[in-house]
Amino acid sequence: MKKYSNLTKVIHIVGARPNFMKIAPLMEEMSKYPQYFDQLLLHTGQHYDDEMSKSFFDDLRLTKPDVYLGVGSGTHSEQTGKIMIEFERVCLQEKPDLVIVVGDVNSTIACAIVAAKLCIPIAHIEAGLRSFDRTMPEEINRVLTDQISDYLFTTCEDANQNLIKEGITENKIFFVGNVMIDTLLSHIEIAKNSNILEKLGLRKNNKIKKYAVVTLHRPSNVDNPKILMGILNALNELAKEIPLIFPAHPRTIKQIRNFKHQEMVNHEENFLSEGLNNTNRNVLTIPPLGYLDFLCLMSNAAIVLTDSGGIQEETTVLGIPCLTLRNNTERPITVKEGTNIVVGNNPDNIINTALSVLKNQNSRKKIPKYWDGKAAERIVKILSSKPRLLNVL
């Protein structure tokens, strides 16, 4: 196929921290072909905490964003609208040949809509995932982004079937694997150098104490005071058996304070001075961690309790038991083939399932197909073979 003389200009979109892990391996793979690809990294500022964002950029060796929109907080509609207004200006100025969006956050749908209206090809990485719960804003973002994208890169065959059922033609769908696992596999050895376990008193003389990890940020869990109290009660009950490390999202901490639940969690300075003492003080709340510190913490945990989608995938590859504190998951392959159990947010279910898993400690299950660290390589090969882009590989 004929090669075009000009570079293919690609704009990569990141807005929330999980996006960084998905874009990093793709940018690294494209950088191997600078004679063919002109890459720009655009950060919408959807997650706008400087320290949290900076640590991820540093850990993942991502270059400083070429464009930072700085949209900040707001309702879903406000945030989406702000991103669309600012991103349209960027597209009109830069005239990209391709816009790459990842995941299911507001930045994903906002930039995809702008690109579609300007007739700029769109690649959606992590397409086809469905929880079938339209009360989740992320589900709306996923469905709409897939409908207007030109290239749909999926992490599993279930996602392919979801897209086909929604009327998307098969020639747009590409099963390539999971780019977030590319990042995990390329950083797991580096993460072993983290001192987070020593800092938290979890490793002494090369011996690691048994502990659990908790993450919590979904509105369905943290915006309702009754539900949040129930989850915190469950964590405190579980903490009688095993200490829980809780890197807390700023929004979750805000809600804990708003609902006056501070007594339900311990803070880092108290934890380090009092030590592990088999009381509910063993729920340790710490600030959010960088990617490498969190990977180290997660990979050595006995169990992880979370409402995060990406962590369901990462624990599956690491062989760590995972309890998903939601009533559904858009990643059913992590249940079917991986280590994930969907338990909802009922306190009794959380406690009983966690205690059962800790007692039985089931062995590692199957790692899904193509979760092998080569997803980004497959994506670049596919993109470069299409008529709209350069046939370079």
pLDDT of residue 251: 82
pLDDT of residue 322: 97
> Residues 97-124, buried b or exposed e (16+ Cβ, 10 A)?
bbbbbbbbbbbbbbbbbbbbeeebbbbb
pLDDT of residue 363: 60
Residues in the chain: 393
pLDDT of residue 4: 44
Whether the pLDDT of residue 69 is over 50: the answer is yes
Q: Which residues contact 282 (CB under 8 A, 6 or more apart)?
A: 239, 240, 242, 243, 244, 266, 271, 276
Whether the pLDDT of residue 196 is over 90: the answer is yes
Mean pLDDT within 317-326: 97
Band of pLDDT at residue 161, cut at 50, 70 and 90: very high
Whether the pLDDT of residue 393 is over 80: the answer is no
Q: What is the pLDDT of residues 97-117, one digit of tens each?
A: 999 999 999 999 999 999 999
Q: What is the pTM of this model?
A: 0.91
Whether the pLDDT of residue 121 is over 60: the answer is yes
Band of pLDDT at residue 226, cut at 50, 70 and 90: very high
Q: What is the pLDDT of residues 11-43, one digit of tens each?
A: 999 998 889 999 999 999 999 999 889 999 999
Mean pLDDT within 208-228: 94
pLDDT of residue 391: 41
pLDDT of residue 5: 47
Q: What is the pLDDT of residues 347-360, one digit of tens each?
A: 999 999 999 999 98
Which residue from 147, 191, 174 is spatially nearest to 383, judged by alpha carbons?
A: 174
Mean pLDDT within 213-240: 94
pLDDT of residue 275: 45
pLDDT of residue 249: 83
Whether the pLDDT of residue 361 is over 90: the answer is no
pLDDT of residue 365: 79
Phi/psi at 171 (5° precision) = -75, -5
Q: Which of 111-120, 249-258, 365-374 has the lowest mean pLDDT?
A: 249-258
Contact criterion met (CB below 8 Å) for 158 and 348? no
pLDDT of residue 47: 66
Q: Dihedral sign, CA of 304, 306, 309, 310?
A: negative
pLDDT of residue 259: 86
- In order of start, what are the domains of the chain with their CATH numbers? 8-178+371-384 (3.40.50.2000), 188-360 (3.40.50.2000)
CB atoms within 10 A of CB 14: 32
Q: Which of 215-229, 245-259, 323-337 has the lowest mean pLDDT?
A: 245-259
Return mean pLDDT, the chain. 90
Mean pLDDT within 132-153: 97
Q: Which residues contact 75 (CB under 8 A, 6 or more apart)?
A: none
Contact criterion met (CB below 8 Å) for 191 and 292? yes
Which residue out of 187, 217, 249, 267 is catalytically annotated?
217
pLDDT of residue 58: 82
Amino acid at 206: N
Q: Is 217 a catalytic residue?
A: yes
Percent of the chain with pLDDT over 90: 74
Whether the pLDDT of residue 242 is over 80: the answer is yes
pLDDT of residue 50: 58
Q: Which of 6-15, 146-155, 271-280 has the lowest mean pLDDT?
A: 271-280
